[in-house]
Structure formats: structure tokens, C-alpha cells
Amino acid sequence: MQVWRSLDEVPSDLGPTVVTIGNFDGVHRGHRAVLSRMAADARAQGLKAVSITFDPHPRAVHDPAHPPVLITGVDDRLERLAETGLDGVLLVEYTLDFAMQTPEEFVRNYLVDGLGAAVVVVGRDTKFGRGNAGDVDTLKELGVRLGFAVEVLADAGDTDARGRRWSSTWVRELLDDGKVAEASEVLGCPHRLRGVIVHGDKRGRTIGFPTANLDVSAGMIPRHGVYAGWLTVLDAHGNDRAAHLVGTPMPAAISVGLNYTVGGESLRVEAFVIDADDLDLYDASVAFDLVGWRRPMLDFGSLEALTEALEEDVAWSREALGLPVKG
């Protein structure tokens, strides 16, 4: 899948295309179902399947005091969009100037001239252009004049066995409750936190549980507590001791929250990598993929009690991740 960060990067001979527009936060199973069908249908017609998405989120620009909590960062959004079979994504930098385009200006500049749209696929509640003045009827009228068809989707994708439709709102609710296994079902993959490993207080190594501290740059922080998950080095950034680990998921017990037992007052996201000795991941970009939630963050009253709890957390994480019991 090609990624274009401006119209200037779009190949002049790209079209004709099938184009859809959306924020696609999380790229959940509803998004995936719609985009995969769109890509397959486009291919059957000899067309390219393309999506327009935005960064930052439009609400963060129009109401910067109340930015939305996003499930995923841009990198993960693009990776998951690529998995649907799209041929390309135009990642638009959303600004107030961009938002001032009239509906017709947006359609001409981006859909017709920019991407060579033969078909535009949108949801029935789509709004676009200055002041959200454009809607599905506007798009159909412009399609007649400018030479593209409009396909309107009743809803974004399928439902689960209970009949609830896949949605980003549902994912956020689950993450707020620490239900990462259920969130993974809606997303179609584990919930991911991304960032860089930074120096912490180094208290963990004094009690036999050295941790990798993540400075989170992307991914919604879920309910505070202890999780089982996987740590994957994405880019060593010059750390030779981490370079050989790039791309290899490592099992971990992960904590998110305040370290009450040692008087912690700031959020920490850290992972104890199971069965790994003397890891040095400082400055590396990594991902924490959360698989299951064990317990809330607690004040155990002493380092001895904390150590016992961590031993139990690691044993539980081994089982949750399907690792062999350590003899």
C-alpha cells in the first residue's frame, strides 16, 4: 500500500479509483470489513482502492481544548489500513485552512483532480466541506456533474454475535474497563501502546524485576492495572544491544498506572520481560500489545509484599500468554 502525505505525492496516473473517507480510529473489524470489500470490488472492476484519512483528528483542530482520545496512533492506523488490501492512503494534514474549503472545492481538489475518483464510498451520515455543509445528497449532485458514482453504506461493517455493531466507541468503553481481550475481538488485533523506552527509577531491578519504561506516544491508555502482553522492538534507534531484537515479540507482565507501594505519583507504563536477562532497550521504539488484564494497581505496604505480588503477576502472565510453566 502506498502512503501519500500530500496531493503532490499522488501519482498523476493513479486513477481511476474507488475512494472512501474517514478517520478510521482503531481500524476495527467494522472498518476492516468495509475496506476489504471495497478493495475487492475495486479490483474486480480494474480500479484502485484508496482511502483519505486525517491527522490530526478534526475534532482536535476545531476544539483543541477537548481533543478526542484516540485508540491508535497514525503509524498503527496506516499499518492496519494496509492489511485491508487498499492500494493507497492519502494522509491529509487537517488544518483550519483545509476545513475552509467548500464541499465542491474539496470534491474537485481531492476526489476528482487529486485521486481520479470513479466511485466514492461514504457512510450515510457523511458531512464534509466548510461548516460541514456537504452531505450525501451534495456528493451525489457533484458526482453527476463531475463524473463519479456514489455508493452509500448503511453502516460501517458487521456485528458481533450479540448484535452490537463494531465501533470505536465500543473499543474505548472496553479499554476503560481494562477488558483488553474483548477489545481485541472488536479490533481484530491486540490493543497497542507505542513509544520509546526511557530511564525510570530502577527500583524494579533491586527486587529482581527490572522493567522497560515506556514513554507512550500513541495508543489509548487503558484502565490502570497489571496486564499480560508482548513487547516488540520496532526500531533500535542506534542501540546495538536492542538491534537483534527488532520484530521479535517478547512475553511480558505490563503495569499501567501509579506505583503506590513506593509512593509513585506519576503514570508509569512499564514491562517486565519474562525469561529475559540483562535487556538494554533504552532509546528503542517499542510496542506493548496488551492481551489480558489481571488486577488493579494496589498499595502492598512493603517491598516484600510487592515482590510476592509481582511473582504471582508473572506466573499469571506466563499462563495467559501460553508459555510453559517454569519449573
> Does residue 154 register a pLDDT over 90?
no
Do 143 and 219 sit in the same domain of this protein?
A: no
Do 211 and 103 sit in the same domain of this protein?
A: no
Mean pLDDT across the chain, nearest whole number?
Answer: 93
Domain count, the chain: 2
Count Cβ atoms within 10 A of the Cβ of residue 314 and give its class: 0-12 exposed, 13-18 middle, 19 or more buried. buried
281-301: average pLDDT: 97
DSSP states along 63-78: -TTSPPPPSS-HHHHH
Residues in the chain: 327
Q: Tell me, what's the pLDDT at 163? A: 67
Phi-psi region of 158 (alpha: psi -120 to 50; beta: other; left: phi over 0): beta
Residue 181 resides in a domain: no
Phi, psi (degrees; rounded to nearest 5) at 299? -95, 110
Looking at residue 9, the DSSP 8-state letter turns out to be G
- Determine contact, residues 150/140, Cβ cutoff 8 Å: yes
Residue 110 resides in a domain: yes
Give the model's confidence band at 160: pLDDT under 50 very low, under 70 low, under 90 confident, else very high. Answer: low
Do 16 and 120 sit in the same domain of this protein?
A: yes
What confidence tens digit (pLDDT) does each residue in 233-287 have? 999 999 999 999 999 999 999 999 998 887 777 899 999 999 998 899 999 999 9
What confidence tens digit (pLDDT) does each residue in 73-106 have? 999 999 999 999 999 999 999 999 999 999 999 9
> Does residue 44 register a pLDDT over 90?
yes
Q: Tell me, what's the pLDDT at 327? A: 60
Residue 37 resides in a domain: yes
Residue 162 resides in a domain: no
- CA nearest 139: which of 147, 156, 52, 131? 147
142-168: average pLDDT: 80
Q: Tell me, what's the pLDDT at 142? A: 98
Do 255 and 197 sit in the same domain of this protein?
A: yes
Angle at 272 between CA 270 and CA 275, to 5 degrees: 160
Q: What is the CATH number of the domain that holds 224?
A: 2.40.30.30
Distance from CA of residue 45 to its chain's centroid?
A: 30
Going through 57-176 in order, the beta strands assigned E by DSSP cover 88-93, 117-123, 149-153
10-28: average pLDDT: 95
Give the model's confidence band at 72: pLDDT under 50 very low, under 70 low, under 90 confident, else very high. Answer: very high
Nine cell digits for residue 306: 510487592
Please state, for a pLDDT cut of 90, what percent of the chain lies above it.
87
- Determine contact, residues 20/128, Cβ cutoff 8 Å: no
Looking at residue 208, the DSSP 8-state letter turns out to be T
Of 123, 153, 183, at which residue does a domain stop?
153
Greater model confidence, 161 or 192: 192
Q: Tell me, what's the pLDDT at 270? A: 97
CA distance 92 to 72: 17
State the residue range of the domain holding 249: 191-320
CA atoms within 13 A on the CB side of 1: 20
Do 28 and 88 sit in the same domain of this protein?
A: yes
Do 23 and 138 sit in the same domain of this protein?
A: yes
Q: Tell me, what's the pLDDT at 155? A: 56
Is there a cis peptide before residue 56, judged by omega within 30 degrees of 0?
Answer: yes
Phi, psi (degrees; rounded to nearest 5) at 248? -105, 110
What confidence tens digit (pLDDT) does each residue in 172-195 have? 999 999 999 999 999 999 999 999
Sign of the dihedral defined by the CA atoms of residues 25, 29, 33, 39, in that order: positive
